[in-house]
Chains A and B, each alone.
Chain A
Amino acid sequence: MSSQSQSKALEIRSLRKSYEGFTLDNISFDVPNGYITGFIGPNGAGKTTTIKLLLDIAMADSGSVRVFGEEKSIYLNNQIGVVTDEPPFADFWSCDDLESVLSAFYDRWDKLAFDSHLKRFEIDRKKAIKELSRGMKVKLMIAVALSHDAKILVLDEPTSGLDPVARDEICTLLGDFICDEKHSVLFSTHITSDLEKIADYVVFILDGRLIFNGSKEELIENFVHIKGGRDELSVEQRALVIGIREHGTGFAGMASISDIEKLPNTAVYDPITLDEMIIYFNKELKNNA
Chain B
Amino acid sequence: MKNWLPVLLACLGLGVCVQLGAKELSVKHKIKYDKGRISVKNKYFSLQMIPRTPDQMEAFYYARGFPPNMLKEIRELCLITTGLKNLSQDIIWLEVADWQFSADGKPVKRFHRKTLLDRWKTMKIPLRFQSTFRWTLIPEKLDYRPDEREGGNIVLPRTGKPITVNAVFHLGKNKTAGTIKIKIDNVVCAKDNDQPGKGKK
Instruction: Tell me whether A and B are bound partners.
Output: no
Binding site for B on A (CB under 8 A): none
